[in-house]
């Protein structure tokens, strides 16, 4: 059977990519379908809005965007049902922490909200060190390098690079050895130290997010690598995130809760095909 790759994302000169705005799309996940709906800015927010007193804005990648599940089944939407709140989900699949911060600066600052919930997956630390992400060429299904914005640290200051983001894309096989667009850095993000390349750039990025949030509380929920849940490896990343805690920034460890809920025989917590919680 021929595989078709439907375009549900589009180029964005500041963020690299974003979902196509105002779309309803049926997506494939394994042998079943799920549905997405996007708002006028391209984020997976349904048109319905809860009239909650508390407005929560969420940042993250595919875990928070809800890869593999309908909008209404994501934890952001379930919060509206369980609590008196309204959620605004600005997460996009494939975003690094750098793009999440840029999305907040471009869109989040213009949206009325009371709290920022930041849900970085540990691999997002690595994505912030890259100038491209790996995607699929629609016509062939081959892997390609899709340029993205990124930051460099110069004289202790963050300097944004690759903006406007280049439109030209290369096949992954054409990428020369040693390119910054390699799939992974040498250090696994869950074991990276504060002196690692990942944290060298992400530490000022998270501090920049704290600055952008102003006086709003910033709640950080780092999502662990799969082995921290399945193999019950210790969550070594939490102390590194706790460095950002202050009177208005709070860090929460989800590892033990995910372990308690994990069932190897079901997909109640872990989607086996794509590896998402």
pLDDT tens digit string along 182-202? Answer: 444 434 555 568 889 899 999
Which of 144-148, 197-201, 218-222, 230-234 bottoms out in mean pLDDT, i.e. has the lowest? 230-234
Q: Are 78 and 71 in contact (CB under 8 A)?
A: no
Q: Is residue 46 situated within a structural domain? A: yes
Q: Report the C-alpha gap between 126 and 128 in whole angstroms.
A: 5
Q: Is residue 111 situated within a structural domain? A: yes
Q: Is residue 271 situated within a structural domain? A: no
Domain count for the chain, please give it: 1
Q: Is residue 275 situated within a structural domain? A: no
More reliable by pLDDT, 9 or 187: 9
Q: Report the C-alpha gap between 114 and 117 in whole angstroms.
A: 10
Q: Give me the domain span that covers residue 98.
A: 9-261
Q: Report the C-alpha gap between 182 and 185 in whole angstroms.
A: 7
Statement: the pTM of the whole predicted model exceeds 0.95: no
Q: Is residue 65 situated within a structural domain? A: yes
| pLDDT above 70 for 233 | no
Q: Report the C-alpha gap between 188 and 95 in whole angstroms.
A: 18
What's the mean per-residue pLDDT of the chain? Answer: 85
| pLDDT above 80 for 92 | yes
Q: Is residue 270 situated within a structural domain? A: no
Q: Report the C-alpha gap between 277 and 226 in whole angstroms.
A: 8
Q: Is residue 273 situated within a structural domain? A: no
Question: Alpha-carbon Rg of the chain, whole angstroms?
Answer: 18
Q: What CATH number has the domain bearing residue 64?
A: 3.40.50.1110
Q: Is residue 268 situated within a structural domain? A: no
- State pLDDT tens for residues 111-164: 999 999 999 999 999 999 999 998 888 788 889 999 999 999 999 999 999 999
Q: Assign residue 167 a region: left if phi > 0, alpha if psi is -120 to 50, beta otherwise?
A: alpha
């Amino acid at each position: 059977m021929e595989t078709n790759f439907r375009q549900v994302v589009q180029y964005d000169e500041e963020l690299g990519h974003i979902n196509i705005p105002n779309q309803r799309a049926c997506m494939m996940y394994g042998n079943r379908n799920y549905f997405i709906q996007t708002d006028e800015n391209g984020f997976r927010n349904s048109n319905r809005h809860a009239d909650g007193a508390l407005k929560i804005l969420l940042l993250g990648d595919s875990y928070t965007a809800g890869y593999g599940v309908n909008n209404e089944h994501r934890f952001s939407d379930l919060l509206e049902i369980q609590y008196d709140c309204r959620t605004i989900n600005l997460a996009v699949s494939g975003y690094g922490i750098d793009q999440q911060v840029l999305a907040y600066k471009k869109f989040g600052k213009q949206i009325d909200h009371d709290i920022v919930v930041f849900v970085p997956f540990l691999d997002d630390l690595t994505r912030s060190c890259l100038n491209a992400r790996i995607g699929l060429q629609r016509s062939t299904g081959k892997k390609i390098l899709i340029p993205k914005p990124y930051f460099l640290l110069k004289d202790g200051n963050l300097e944004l690079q690759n903006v406007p983001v280049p439109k030209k894309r290369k096949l992954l096989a054409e990428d020369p050895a040693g390119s910054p667009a390699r799939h992974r850095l040498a250090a696994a993000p869950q074991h990276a130290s504060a002196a690692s390349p990942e944290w060298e750039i992400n530490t000022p990025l998270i501090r920049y997010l704290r600055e952008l949030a102003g006086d709003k509380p910033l709640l950080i929920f780092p999502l662990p690598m799969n082995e921290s849940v399945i193999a019950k490896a210790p969550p070594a990343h939490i102390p590194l995130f706790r460095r950002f805690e202050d009177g208005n920034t709070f860090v929460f460890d989800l590892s033990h809760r995910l372990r308690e809920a994990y069932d190897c025989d079901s997909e109640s917590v872990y989607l086996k095909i794509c590896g998402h919680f």
